[in-house]
Chains A and B, each alone.
Chain A
Amino acid sequence: MARFAVRRLAGAAAVLFAVSVLVFVIFNVIPNSDPARQLAGRTANPQLIASITREWGFDDPLPQQYLRMMQNILTGKVISYETEENVDERIVEGIPETFSLALGAAAIWMFFGILFGYLSAVRAGGPLDRGLTVLAVTGISMPVFWLAAILLNYLAYQFELVPAGGYVGITENPLEWAQHLVLPWVTLAIVYVGLYSRVLRSNMLDAMGADYVRTARAKGLSEHRVMTRHVLRNSLIPIVTLFGLDFGALLGGVIVVEGIFNLNGVGQYAYESLINLDLPPIMAITLFGAFFIVLFNALVDVVYAFLDPRVKLGSSAR
């Protein structure tokens, strides 16, 4: 088990290195223009461009440019020329908000996704299943940012059911913290509820036709027991790994949700930077986003090995 974990983490480190090179390539190599000018953004003028070129080493050969970029980002020296803030600091500031959003949405989608998926599978073919399937397919077809805008407009502005954006820390006022986050949570969760309920339904239907389920019934177990201890248990394993992957990739989805609901997290920072065509924050956020995913993927693999004894004991047992 330990050997497996070490291998996984070593592999993750290699991927992270490749990721950082890719970020470098995206921003400094592929585009057909002067990288210093791009970094300067809308405040570009010849002196600024010259000083950027010096600071980032754009006159040096590519490998040195790469090292410079990594050095700048990792030591917290990257500054957005547009807003004149320190990029790394602002990212760190936004983490609590982003986490509040992500964890809350994750809790909602896991709960409802599994619930709906289970009900759909158990009552497969019936009206409940069909209804839930309609909801699920609509969920996965939903443009999240549009939904956020619509909900914000109608539920917050027009009917004033919830506050119209902004963030209140949980330590300040838990009730308001939740109130401000309800709409963002729901918006973010809807797509995943649809997706997870379908995946679970499909896994469970597969499992229900499996031989070991037939054995369980032949032993005289109650239908409920068969469904939970055998069908559900085995069907949840892929859901867990899927969750790990999706949670890691959440940074993408939160960009629009935070932006629209004005939640001051890392996502909002990315949102603003994109709108302002401000490059340095996007570079750093992309790198951190990838770091988070790679870390989570490695974690997921380890958890999966833990859950599935075939992987855990693997080659040692024959």
Chain B
Amino acid sequence: MSADRQGGEPLLRVDDLRVAFATEGEPVQAVDGVSFELAAGEVLAIVGESGSGKSVTAQTLVGLTRSPNAHIGGSVRLGGEELIGAGESELRRVRGERVGMVFQDPMSSFNPVYRIGAQVVEAIRAHRPQASRADARERAVELLGSVGLPDPERQVDRYPFELSGGMRQRAMIAMALMLEPEILIADEPTTALDVTIQAQILELLRRLNRERGLATILITHDFGVVAEMADRVLVMHEGRIVERGDLDRVFYSPQDPYTRRLLDAVVRLDREPPLRPSRGEPPLLEVSGLVKHFPVKHGLLVDREVDRVRAVDGVSFSVARGETLGLVGESGCGKSTLSRTVLQLLEPTSGSVRFDGREIAGLSRRRMRPLRAQMQMVFQDPYASLNPRKRIGQIVGEPLRIQGVASGRELRGRVRRLLERVGLSAAHYQRYPHEFSGGQRQRIGIARALALEPKLVIADEPVSALDVSIRTQILDLLSELQDEFGLTYVFVAHDIGVVRHVSDRIAVMHGGRIIEQGPADRICEQPSDPYTKQLLAAVPVPDPREARARRASSAR
């Protein structure tokens, strides 16, 4: 919905906002002269990568940047009232009554020891102490219902951990709206949620904006979300606004080179990759009826198994040599467990895994050892996948040492060549992981996986933790390496756009089972399973016109 400009004063006016943090070394200028306006009832998206300053901006608006090392300057006027430099009691009044905030992680944003109802009600009682407890509770129940929480009477008395992620986020939104503020600031409200839940929350926010005329500032890194939600867009980079304008204008004719680069990277994921011809040989990997259950033990004196977590519940698929199989599913579907069980990092409960014609399920550690050189993994978390106490040359060379393949000068030479091949400098051999960025660390992880020249590489969410502009670089790298080394990939991800970009075939996973598999474009364009359809429909499309069309058609 395009903004209903009521003409006259904007609701919020930000002028030359600056925030600098003093650190051990140089002071960091997180926000460097940001100015914008928010009109009543409009949805303004502030989009940028990590470190762009978008979150700091949002939190500084209501004075939540409280570090003693922060230097704040500039002006923030809310309907005429100046907020920068205002006293605590004024700011307190603004928070909750005029501006509500929703944060990224609803699990950690709620206090774990108080019930949901108590925390929701707390907001009212703090601002209107004369409100009776019964009234406040009634209002809480009503509000929880209006944000789509089923059975709000019961949910009110539940603890945060008892609710699912989506419900928690709804509760958080309700809590922010308790005092009927004019503005809602949502800082990455859906980033920690599954894609299907994300769609629901975005729908909720849209409805609230429409029905209540709630002006919304939406902070996000996801252009798909922006395309679905925003009236106007601000693009931030290194603390400054580099592009601003109406949604369509920014998407279809961006002026700033950085914005163009970002959009380019995003849009490219939608395009189809060139098809790799199938080689008609026996498959490299054949998984048949694979099962991995985790027993849940409970008992009076002795632990007895009372239940099982069926993480992988009978999975079958095969991967041909040189092909890329994309394994896609939401969190909890079992894809990570599956990839680890295939590699025998977890012992299968039952089922078969044939690698290169040989059965490897349940092999002893000793027998498995030489085979490990042929099947490697690229991990998700660039921070946790590298031992912080080792130099990167050591990390990349470790597999060669462990398998006794090379040593001394030869080993160092091979490591250096690997580093160069993945786009790093061999001169960085002696550096430590913390000296590199997230994208560079993933390159190190890839170099490590390739050190033993494996046949199969399982990549478990290799780009999920990276910024959008870096993602395409890493995906391109993986693609080049595949052609050069003749690798076979299993690409695990929750983002179907990413998966589509790299895969020849796709398998969709849900509840420990593969519910649909087939050629990538067939799955994406003509899915047969209802879950797949739901999954595809939920993915936010980074194209405003298409997003509008979809909403219109589903409304019909």
Contact = CB atoms under 8 A, between A and B. Distances in A.
B68 interface: yes
A298 to B, nearest CB: 14
A219 B296 contact: no
Contacts of A317: 159, 161-162
B327 to A, nearest CB: 25
A221 B105 contact: no
Contacts of A229: 122
Interface in B56-96: 59, 62, 64, 66, 68, 88, 92-96
A315 B296 contact: yes
Contacts of B96: 218-220
A309 B159 contact: yes
B38 interface: no
Given A215-B109, A233-B113, A315 B162 contact: no
A219 B300 contact: no
Interface stretch (A2-10, A57-65, A187-195): A2-10
Interface in A274-315: 307-310, 313, 315
A221 B109 contact: no
A229 B126 CA distance: 12
Secondary structure call for the A interface:
helix
Most buried by B among A6, A7, A219: A219
Interface stretch (A98-106, A171-179, A206-214): A206-214
Nearest to A309: B159
Nearest to A308: B113
Contact of B126 (A220, A308, A313): A220
Interface in A193-241: 210-212, 214-223, 225, 229-230, 233-234, 237
B266 to A, nearest CB: 28
Contact of B159 (A7, A214, A221, A313): A313
A31 interface: no
B95 A219 contact: yes
Contacts of A234: 111-113
Contacts of B162: 313, 317-318
A214 B101 CA distance: 10
B251 interface: no
B421 interface: no
Contacts of A211: 103, 105, 108-109
Given A212-B109, A309-B159, A219 B126 contact: yes
B110 A215 contact: yes
Given A6-B300, A211-B105, A317-B162, A223 B111 contact: no
Interface string B112-140: 11000000001100110000000000000
A212 B59 CA distance: 14
A303 to B, nearest CB: 14
B467 interface: no
A125 interface: yes
B95 A212 contact: no
B345 interface: no
Nearest to A208: B66
Given A210-B108, A215-B109, A10 B95 contact: no
Given A7-B301, A125-B68, A225-B126, A220 B109 contact: no
B95 A218 contact: yes
Contacts of B113: 233-234, 237, 307-309
B16 interface: no
Contact of B64 (A218, A221, A225): A218
Interface residues of B, number: 37
Contacts of B492: none
Interface string B196-212: 00000000000000000
Given A212-B109, A212-B111, A217 B126 contact: no
Nearest to A211: B108
A223 B63 CA distance: 13
B431 interface: no
Interface string B412-438: 000000000000000000000000000
Contacts of B97: 220
Contacts of B5: none
Interface string B46-63: 000000000000010010
A134 B172 CA distance: 42
Nearest to A3: B300
Contacts of B105: 211
B175 interface: yes
A215 B95 contact: no
Contact of A315 (B92, B101, B172, B298): B298
A214 B103 contact: yes
B115 to A, nearest CB: 8
A3 B100 CA distance: 43
A14 B162 CA distance: 34
A106 B92 CA distance: 39
A214 B105 CA distance: 12
A249 to B, nearest CB: 27
A221 B114 CA distance: 15
A310 B122 contact: no
A212 B62 CA distance: 16
Contacts of A218: 62, 64, 95-96, 100-101, 103, 176
Given A220-B97, A309-B113, A315-B298, A212 B108 contact: yes
Given A313-B162, A315-B296, A317-B162, A219 B110 contact: no
Nearest to B159: A309
Contacts of B100: 218
Contacts of B300: 3, 6-7, 10
A230 B109 CA distance: 12
B161 A222 contact: no
A212 B93 contact: no
A310 B101 contact: no
Contacts of B126: 219-222, 225
A212 B296 contact: no
13 contacts: A3-B300, A10-B301, A215-B111, A217-B66, A217-B95, A218-B95, A219-B95, A219-B175, A220-B93, A220-B94, A221-B123, A234-B113, A317-B161
Given A211-B108, A215-B110, A220-B92, 9 more contacts: A6-B300, A212-B111, A214-B64, A220-B94, A221-B122, A234-B112, A309-B113, A317-B159, A317-B162
Interface of A: 3, 6-7, 10, 125, 210-212, 214-223, 225, 229-230, 233-234, 237, 307-310, 313, 315, 317-318
